[in-house]
Structure 1
Amino acid sequence: MTVYMPLHDEIQRFGLELYAVGRAPRLPVLSVETSLFDRIRVAQAVDEQLSKWRHRADERDSGLYSVVDGIVRFRGRLWVPAGIKRDIARFVSECLTCQQVKAEHQRPAGLLKPLPIPKWKWDNITMDFVVGLPRTVRGSNSIWVIVDHLTKSAHFLPVGRISL
């Protein structure tokens, strides 16, 4: 079996292990399994603070903590001990794909609040300018846009001699 050494080095750098299954000559298949969940499971088992929190939560039957596949979750989210958080942060900082993905780091905005409905026409308006247009025969190079919120009607007025 020929091993491409740079790939082998990368696999070892990520803490992965390669092993062959069976002896029949077949097309090689690379199967990647992470040991991250095993490491989290072991770290959670020896974490004293987590065991205290779980014990308190079990006494109150609050449902904050749950165990799925031997891994403790807090409010449905994976609870990761501090030592492993450092390893994950280091991996993400070195991973090119992780750097290119722009994850949303803000909470959802929640429910939208409707705008108040105006009582009269032209009571609530918005105005804007469209600039940078070619000059017309009359010398206008911009448009002044006025929109009424109640009737959704708009006026487009040519405006001349606005320069940027």
Structure 2
Amino acid sequence: MTIQPNLFERIIEAQQEEPEIIELIIRIQRKETEAFEVGEKGELRMNERLCIPDNIELKEEILKEGHQGMFHLHLGRDKMIEELRKLFWWKGMRKDVAEFESRCLICQKVKFERQKSSGLLQPL
């Protein structure tokens, strides 16, 4: 998965409009927090991962690219979270990924049922 230049620029613009992110950048400049850092282009990062603002459209696009990108492999929730965490961070990422995957019809058709068997078979 690669970040498209257009998406990267849109994320930076959305970060500049998000009050919570602006407050974090101010705290970084005052050296009140060490968990976050400001990147070369003024973007907010957490442990070198790009922080995504609370923007539904951006998150949806990132989730769509992460889920259906590369070879359109629907690898499941855990693998998708692992791949997205290499590049991005936002509050509630795990929940958002689970909701996104539950709406994917291909994943629902392919996923095997994880339920107990009905019991032992009895001979006639």
| Bin of the TM-score, shorter chain as denominator length | 0.3 to 0.5
> TM-score, with normalisation over the residues of structure 1?
0.36
Larger fraction in helix: 2
Higher relative contact order (CA 8 A, sep 6+): 2
Which structure: larger Rg?
A: 1
> TM-score, with normalisation over the residues of structure 2?
0.45
